């Protein structure tokens, strides 16, 4: 059982940034092994952290029923997608740091077609978080220093940032750290890339809240006292 903190809407609304934690039962399979392409020129050769997506997001066509009746979803690797009307609302809301890519269903038969969904693509990566963050494990830290970070069962995740490191934050940002347990041997089509987490301002949360999205948990970060 995952231990998590619970927050009131007032607490979420007052946070500097919120970590988006997609509910695991609502995730679909997508990413490199489904045919999404990535440029790994500047990525870590060991874990793939820093891989840059270069195509639309492909998700497994056999799992489309999981998206029915939903307005937001996630892949297992924290690629976030929203249905196109919600994407339109986000685009016209004036929130900063966000662009969009298309989302396609891919089948083993090589058939592909575009879905009425858009992938959320943040432009900004924040500096590393404070070592005072708790509830994250660095057991398998990669030589690059960016990946091998995971959440923990026993302790709720509490991300801490130094206030000065948020000076250039946007409404939508990615963590410098990449999470999950990667597997990469240089072949992108067989890769299990680590992935950064999304950190967004309460302005973004309010739009999702207004759209009735219940697929994500929202967890406030804390600022380091200095
Ligand atoms: Zn690495």
pLDDT tens digits for 21-44? Answer: 998 777 899 989 999 999 999 999
Angle between helices 84-92 and 202-210 (to 10 degrees): 140
Helix (H) or strand (E) holding 44: none
Spatial distance between the Cα atoms of 166 and 96, rounded to a whole number of angstroms: 14
Distance 67 CA to ligand 1 centre (A): 32
Distance 29 CA to ligand 1 centre (A): 23
Q: How many residues does the chain have?
A: 226
Q: What per-residue confidence (pLDDT) applies to 136?
A: 87
Distance 68 CA to ligand 1 centre (A): 36
Spatial distance between the Cα atoms of 37 and 202, rounded to a whole number of angstroms: 32
Question: Residue 168 in 3-state DSSP?
Answer: coil
Spatial distance between the Cα atoms of 64 and 85, rounded to a whole number of angstroms: 18
Distance 126 CA to ligand 1 centre (A): 17
Distance 46 CA to ligand 1 centre (A): 5
HSE-CB at 99 with a 13 A cutoff on CA atoms is 5
- Percent of the chain at pLDDT exceeding 70: 98
Q: List, for residues 87-131, the tens digit of each pLDDT value.
A: 999 999 999 999 999 999 999 998 999 999 999 999 999 999 999
Q: Given a cut of 60, is residue 12 above it in pLDDT?
A: yes
Structural domain spans, the chain: 9-223
- From 79-88, 93-102, 139-148, 176-185, the region with the lowest mean pLDDT: 139-148
Distance 160 CA to ligand 1 centre (A): 22
Q: What per-residue confidence (pLDDT) applies to 226?
A: 64
Q: Given a cut of 90, is residue 149 above it in pLDDT?
A: no
- For 48, residues 6+ apart whose C-beta sits below 8 A from its C-beta are 40, 147, 182, 184, 191, 193, 194
């Amino acid at each position: 059982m995952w231990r998590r903190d619970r927050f009131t809407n007032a607490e979420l609304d007052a946070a500097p940034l919120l970590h988006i934690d997609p509910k695991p039962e609502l995730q679909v399979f997508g990413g490199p092994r489904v045919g999404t392409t990535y440029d790994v020129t500047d990525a870590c050769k060991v874990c793939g952290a820093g891989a840059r997506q270069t195509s639309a997001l492909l998700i497994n066509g056999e799992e489309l029923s999981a998206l029915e009746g939903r307005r937001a979803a996630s892949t297992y690797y924290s690629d976030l997608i929203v249905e196109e009307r919600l994407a339109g609302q986000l685009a016209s809301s004036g929130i900063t740091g966000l662009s969009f890519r298309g989302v396609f269903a891919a089948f083993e038969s090589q058939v592909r077609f575009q879905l009425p969904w858009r992938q959320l693509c943040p432009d900004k990566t924040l500096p590393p978080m404070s070592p005072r963050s708790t509830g994250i494990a660095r057991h398998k830290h990669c030589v690059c220093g960016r990946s091998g970070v995971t959440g923990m069962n026993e302790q709720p995740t509490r991300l801490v940032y130094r206030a000065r490191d948020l000076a250039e934050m946007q409404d939508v940002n990615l963590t410098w750290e990449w999470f999950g347990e990667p597997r990469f041997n240089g072949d992108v089509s067989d890769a299990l890339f680590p992935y950064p987490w999304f950190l967004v301002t309460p302005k973004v949360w309010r739009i999702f809240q207004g759209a009735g999205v219940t697929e994500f948990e929202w967890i406030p970060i804390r600022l380091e006292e200095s």
